[in-house]
Amino acid sequence: MTSLSTGPASKMTIGVYKMLYETIFATKLDDELYANIKNSNGVHGEIVYMNGDVACGIISGEINAKKIKITSIGVLEAYRRHGAAVSLVNGLIASQKNVESISCTFEKSNTALVNLFTKLEFKVAEEAGENVTYEKNLA
């Protein structure tokens, strides 16, 4: 049986976060985002671990007053469809006390994210061109 756990991307684990980000998205992690996650400067990152030791996915969110805006979420291809993305969203929510809502904007054609946020009971808050924003009230 597979077990999943999440933990913060901190000064001790930011290197793992960076490696996962660059592998999943095939692009370099922006230096400013890297520093903001590392120093908890308005951005929070979480890493999901499978069976306690295999880092397999990441999520980051901008924290603004009482709202989280998910800016990136991804799971290594070999570890998809095991609940890692659900654990990441729930871990990000759990890491932030007193937050009233969470949202994510992405392309409508991304069926994996549509399915994820629908499963987590997010609602469509806005549609603009090719993009859609899903939001969930937590209060």
What pLDDT, on the 0 to 100 scale, is given for residue 1?
Answer: 63
Show Cβ contacts of residue 101 under 8 Å, excluding neighbours closer than 6 positions: 66, 67, 68, 135, 136, 137, 138, 139
116 phi/psi in degrees, rounded to 5:
-60, -55
pLDDT in tens, the chain (139 residues): 689 999 999 999 999 999 999 999 999 998 998 999 998 889 999 999 999 889 999 999 999 989 999 999 999 999 999 999 999 999 999 999 889 999 999 999 999 999 999 999 999 999 999 999 999 999 8
Give me the number of domains the chain comprises: 1
Spatial CB neighbours of 113, under 8 Å, sequence gap ≥ 6? 73, 104, 106, 134
pTM: 0.93
What's CA 123's distance to the chain center, in Å?
A: 17
Give residue 126's pLDDT: 95
CATH number, domain of 103, equals 3.40.630.30
Q: What is the extent of the structural domain holding 112?
A: 4-137
